[in-house]
Amino acid sequence: MIKKNTIGVDFGTDSVRVQFVNAFDGNILATGSARFKRWGDGLYCRPGQSQFRQHPLDHIESFELAMQEAVQQLNQDDLSAVKGISVASTGSTPIAVDREGTPLSMKKSFANNPNAMFFLWKDHSAIGEAAEINQKCREGHPVDYTKYMGSEYSSEWFWAKLIYVLRNDVGVKEQLFSWVEHCDWFTALLTGQTNPLDLKRSRCAAGHKAMWHEEWDGLPPVDFFKRLDPSLEDIRQRMGKATFTSDAVAGTLSPEWAQKFGLPADTIVGVGSLDAHIGAIGGEIQDGWLVKVMGTSTCDMLVAPKETVNGTVEGICGQVNGSVLPNRIGFEAGQAAFGDIYAWFGEVISWPLRHILEKDGNIDGSIKQTIIDKVTGELLPELGISAEKLPLSETGPIALDWMNGRRTPFSNQLLKGGFTGLTLGTTAPAMFRALVEATAFGSKKIIAHFKEQNVQIEGIIAIGGVAHKSNFVMQVLADVLDQPIKVAKAEQPVALGAAMAAAVACKLHNSFEEAQKTMGSGFMKEFHPIPENVQKYHQLYLRYTDFGTFVESLNY
């Protein structure tokens, strides 16, 4: 049988992953991954100020390394059989580019300027600018351009970050020609055609992050942006109004990229998309099923036929026609921190190890590093084992999962996390358990919010690293939600979903439903709620809700 393969690329928060997939049977032919070096070294970030930036060279270099790792696993027949490649990335993760589409940070004069780099999705520098957008949408204008974005614009999103740059960095402002989402820029880079006036912008990213909607025939009009900031007028005019779903073709692979990896010159490059939305496809989303993308944060994805959706859902991250599946309304919600919370707690309690042991001159350096690596590597799994053994008590400590603000319901990046109910007898495993429960309670809030606004949820699918790595977290989540949860088998569902998108874009499959049926990996396990835990968690959830109401009332 003639081979026909596609490549899926997943730019995550910490690394990039690629997969070569047989489009006819879903067999994973090769995989590769590489971490972002500068990001891993903590460059260009100020976590205390919620500044998280990434240099575009991190993404280019890591992509090359990941591709080289995968290519080495293949023979020439496999490479010659590649028909398409598609990219998914975190979002909103935009960057300032010049007239040629070159990121400003790739120029010598801006090489170390964080404002000329990618603003990672979780960068909250633009809280004030987001508030201004919300105010302008409610005052003095006949249309609320946030109404399909949950009626609340977030500092995590496209325009707020652009306004922040324009007002805080004159040098970048003077050289900025356009503002481009990561998935659009890297897709254009693969085609070799990065002109901002010509690149195809993702319907998914524009609809969920940039206020694009069919009702007003594209992005909000120029006069709206002039009222926000006069500097936006020219930039907005250069954006155009067309957007494209992920089954569309962006172009073909440039000769440079094709030669570098030994791929056919006519390899189709599909239009890019956001990782959670493509991951939902890889997780085999279907109408009415909520897919929880569980990683450093969570994104909760739903799709529904257009004719069944009446009105708008407030307090979420948008509802966009075609953002997940063509001719389906895609709903997005989520939590601003999930796995990040567990990692944060691990960093807190390992502080003495890192800062005291490292100063001890009596211990050999290699031995110190071995100890540090062993403890930090096993810390979270051991905390989970110990936390799971603790009896479930309705009077235990309660945590609040707002360490990176709240995304849904009703975005508020100013909110902070916290603990209540601590005593001198509270242990590290008990605190860790409270954090796990808090992330589950946050998920319950989102599902309850959807149901309150008449959005039905038929079932739940979990994908991502947390879903695969921690049975403890997944069982707590099933108990708190009082609902079964299926875990998708795909270890890299975003990369797999991108490979499916590439297969549809280059016409190997006629629809995403056909691609899912042929290329999908199915499900590896299912978690069911334990009846005796459900009622206890209901009482703890009420305490979590009361605690959250109190913290929000403080208005810090």
Which residues make Cβ contacts (< 8 Å) with residue 405, sequence separation at least 6?
50, 124, 336, 411, 412, 413, 414, 415, 416
Instruction: Report the C-alpha gap between 390 and 367 in whole angstroms.
Output: 33
Per the CB < 8 A criterion, the answer to whether 162 and 179 are in contact is yes
DSSP 500-524: HHHHHHTTSSSSHHHHHHHH---EE
Query: β-strands 82-89, 268-270: how paired?
Result: parallel
Which residues make Cβ contacts (< 8 Å) with residue 272, sequence separation at least 6?
86, 87, 88, 89, 181, 183, 184, 186, 187, 202, 205, 246, 250
Instruction: Report the C-alpha gap between 410 and 417 in whole angstroms.
Output: 16
The average confidence (pLDDT) of the chain is: 95
Q: What is the mean pLDDT of residues 108-122?
A: 97
- Output the pLDDT for position 363: 84
Read off the pLDDT of residues 168-200 as tens digits, 9 standing for 90 and up.
999 999 999 999 999 999 999 999 999 999 999
Q: Which domains does the chain have, with CATH numbers?
A: 5-283+491-521 (3.30.420.40), 389-489+524-554 (3.30.420.40)
Q: What is the mean pLDDT of residues 306-311?
A: 89
- Output the pLDDT for position 531: 96
Read off the pLDDT of residues 442-488 as tens digits, 9 standing for 90 and up.
999 999 999 999 998 999 999 999 999 999 999 999 999 999 999 99
Cα separations in angstroms, 92 against 100, 265, 313, 385, 397: 22, 31, 20, 35, 34
* Percent of the chain whose pLDDT exceeds 70: 99
Per the CB < 8 A criterion, the answer to whether 313 and 149 are in contact is no
Assign 140 a pLDDT band (cuts: 50, 70, 90).
Answer: low
Backbone Cα Rg of the chain: 23
Return the C-alpha torsion angle 98, 253, 492, 105, nearest 10: -20
- Output the pLDDT for position 373: 86
Read off the pLDDT of residues 480-532 as tens digits, 9 standing for 90 and up.
999 999 999 999 999 999 999 999 999 999 999 999 999 999 999 999 999 99
Q: Average the pLDDT over each of 35-44, 50-59, 344-353 and give the range with the smallest value.
A: 344-353
Read off the pLDDT of residues 321-336 as tens digits, 9 standing for 90 and up.
999 999 999 999 999 9
Per the CB < 8 A criterion, the answer to whether 71 and 79 are in contact is yes
Read off the pLDDT of residues 357-410 as tens digits, 9 standing for 90 and up.
877 778 887 888 888 888 888 999 999 999 999 999 888 899 999 999 999 999
- Output the pLDDT for position 500: 98
CB environment 304-342: b (16+ within 10 A), e (fewer): beeeebeebbbbbbbbbbbbbbeebbbbbbbbbbbbbbb
DSSP 359-378: T-TTS-HHHHHHHHHHHHHH
